[in-house]
Structure 1
Amino acid sequence: MFTLQQIAETLGRPVEGDGTLRFARAAEPDAAGPDDLALAMSPAYGDALRAGQARAAILWDGADWKGFGLKGAVLVPRARLAMASITAALDPGPRLPEGVHPSAVVDASAALGPGARIGPFVTIGADVRIGANARIGAGCAIGDGVVIGDDALLQPRVVLCERVVIGDRFIAQPGVVIGGDGFSFVTPEESGVERARKTLGDQGDIREQAWTRIHSLGAVRIGDDVEIGANTTIDRGTVADTVIGRGTKIDNLVMIGHNNVVGEDCLFCSMVGVAGGCTIGDRVVLAGKVGVNDNITVGNDVVAGGGTKIFTRVAAGEVILGYPATKMDTNMAMYRALRRLPRLSEQVAELRKTVAGLVPGKRDE
């Protein structure tokens, strides 16, 4: 159970009314009962709040909380920021028993920090170092030489391959794989795909050639406060390490190729794919299904809209969209022009008929 006063302190906001009101959970305004905290942080939720039975609520700044029949409230100026604090306070996270589960296999050379919790069927390799209060969920596999910082959370079935280094407060959702080999192959002679890339389409003489693996000698280094979504993969570097900067958040089903260097506080949404050898600056936002070609540089503070395909360098601060990527306002103008093409085609056909009627000898053609 929580009190309204506790939530107010978490938000850094004053309590309006009775701060001793207790509740067990947060709820949508119309579904909230007397023991729930209603979340109604926009005037659009006013009617829904009246339809519920909440005694306490989080409301938008300036709201008339008494007018809603509440006994207590906390008013917030920025709804989504308040949601971050409220959900953090109310979310206990996965609960693992203290210590190492009997079914876990932990190499004798591994060092576990104080308060670390190791779940069932976890495997931990040689010379691994796991920080204080880390939680390692069921079925995780941690390779030799891995370093994990303090307060990390690995949800079930996360795989960290050998020599991966991760900072403090790391979160990995189920199915994450970090440190798999990069997708690097070569043929004995220039392949058709290499020639096609140079010539923009001509493969030359096509011949049978087998692919030879280029092994990955690097690892992956991840900074503090990074979060990675379910079933995302990050490949190790070929020689140098793949790097993910501090504070970067990566969604589900994202693919980060070998030798990429990703900056700090970036946000990559679901199904982003970044080919190998890219350098991506700080605070870059890649929306869903953005693709980045190999060996591309993306500057700081770039925002790429959903489905954008990046084939060339992007300067710092640009907002881009489309396939291929162009500045967002340019792309929208192009799209509007594209929508007009059918009508324009009809108009051109009509003009041709008119012109043909005006030119002697063309009327009957």
Structure 2
Amino acid sequence: MTDFTLTQIATALGATLEGDGDLRVTGASEPSTAKPDQLALAMDPKYGDGLSEGRARAAILWQGADWKSLGLKAAIFVPRPRYAMSGLTTLMDPGPDIELGIHPTAIVHPTASIGEGCAIGPFVVVGRDVKIGTCARIASHVSIAEGSALGDNALILQGVRIGARVQIGDNFIAQPGCVIGSDGFSFVTPEKSGVENVRQSLGDQGEAAQQSWTRIHSLGGVRIGNDVEIGANSAIDRGTIRDTSIGNGTKLDNLVHIGHNVQIGDDCLLCGQVGVAGSSRIGNRVVMAGQCGVNDNIFVGDDVIAGGASKIFTNAPAGRVLLGYPAVKMESHIEMQKSLRRLPRFMKSLKQDK
């Protein structure tokens, strides 16, 4: 078990320490359940009462807290508590237990290139001409298909599938079960289908012939920048001709689906169950809350924020805050909902006036 002095923690966080800096802790805890060897996280006054229920000797506290009166031997003060959590968890997370070297059950193609300091776990399959950078950690049952490349310091967790011709930058994290480089969902009919007629007429599918769907194969790949994280059971389709791409610093939550040819910019945040349909373009620093949907072949501008379950059917200009189905300006959506709630009372008064 790894332990840390409070001085080490405060230095890592760039925080202020008061009290006994030599006090050692083995982990972090909520205040009410903290043990003597754990650091209590009471970064807001509303969590202060919990300190009396737990047995912590040290805590991270809100600015101005009287740590001595709380019965503590030391305290760490941070200006931005939530941001401090990123540094604290980075320091204390031991990461997955993957032994250095290549496990005897792994299958690595002779033409594959494996960088120094890599750890490749049981039953991993690395295909022809794959390139893996230095210090990559690849957990059990991962497969990496032919012609793909991983940058330095990759962390690929259990059961991840990386398809052919996928190019990934440095510091990449793939959570268990995600699939990168699956075929795009592209099908066409010999003659115009009912779907195409509806798109033109906005409602009338016409006299579409009975016909079967024919696959359009995916010849492109997937390109992913540096410092990207893909959540568990997410799926990113390869492009039809050009590559599907995800920019530097972008984070995808669990169960996110990115369609073929989609272009996503830098530092985007896509939360659980977001779906982006084929050939759409997403700008930089876009945030989409859970269950947002983006129509195909549209553009979402830089710094757009979309609230939960919003459905974006048309181009969204940069900086717009969206909500609703279909997505509109958040302030417009709130007014619409207010009006909708007033309708029963309005109809009742209308009948009385008659």
Between the aligned residues of both structures, percent identity stands at 60
Q: How does 1:285-364 map to 2 (within 5 A)?
A: 285-352=287-354
- Match of 1:345, SS state, is helix
Displacement, 1:60? 1.0
What corresponds to 2:162 in structure 1? 160
Give the residue type in structure 2 aligned to 1:220: V
C-alpha distance in structure 1 between counterparts of 2:242 and 2:35, whole Å: 56
Displacement, 1:15? 1.5
Displacement, 1:331? 0.2
Q: How does 1:60-99 map to 2 (within 5 A)?
A: 60-99=62-101
**Structure 2 counterpart of 1:184, from 175, 186, 196:** 186
Task: Report Cα offsets for 1:233-254 as digits up to 9, x if no partner.
Answer: 0000000000000000000000
What corresponds to 2:230 in structure 1? 228
What corresponds to 1:362 in structure 2? none
C-alpha distance in structure 1 between counterparts of 2:155 and 2:287, whole Å: 24
Displacement, 1:197? 1.3
Displacement, 1:207? 2.1
Instruction: Answer yes or no: is 1:33 the counterpart of 2:35.
Output: yes
C-alpha distance in structure 2 between counterparts of 1:61 and 1:218, whole Å: 52
**Structure 2 counterpart of 1:283, from 282, 285, 292:** 285
Displacement, 1:47? 0.4
Task: Report Cα offsets for 1:131-152 as digits up to 9, x if no partner.
Answer: 1110111100100011001111
What corresponds to 1:259 in structure 2? 261
Q: TM-score by structure 2 length?
A: 0.98
Displacement, 1:98? 0.9
C-alpha distance in structure 1 between counterparts of 2:195 and 2:29, whole Å: 55
Task: Report Cα offsets for 1:152-191 as digits up to 9, x if no partner.
Answer: 1011000000110000100010011000111111100001
Q: How many residues align?
A: 352
Q: How does 1:206-245 map to 2 (within 5 A)?
A: 206-245=208-247
Displacement, 1:53? 1.1
Displacement, 1:342? 0.9
Q: TM-score by structure 1 length?
A: 0.95
C-alpha distance in structure 1 between counterparts of 2:208 and 2:318, whole Å: 41
Moved over 6 A (4+): none
Q: Where do 5+ consecutive residues of structure 2 fail to align? A: none
Displacement, 1:82? 0.7
Q: Where do 5+ consecutive residues of structure 1 fail to align? A: 353-365
C-alpha distance in structure 1 between counterparts of 2:150 and 2:218, whole Å: 21
**Structure 1 counterpart of 2:112, from 105, 110, 113:** 110
**Structure 2 counterpart of 1:203, from 177, 202, 205:** 205
CA RMSD across the alignment: 0.7
What corresponds to 1:273 in structure 2? 275
Displacement, 1:206? 3.4
What corresponds to 2:21 in structure 1? 19
C-alpha distance in structure 1 between counterparts of 2:352 and 2:17, whole Å: 70
Q: Is the 8 A contact 2:16 2:78 kept in 1?
A: no
C-alpha distance in structure 1 between counterparts of 2:316 and 2:162, whole Å: 32
Q: Is the 8 A contact 2:224 2:248 kept in 1?
A: yes
**Quick check: which has more Rg, 1 or 2?**
1
C-alpha distance in structure 2 between counterparts of 1:176 and 1:24, whole Å: 32
C-alpha distance in structure 2 between counterparts of 1:238 and 1:105, whole Å: 29
Displacement, 1:200? 1.1
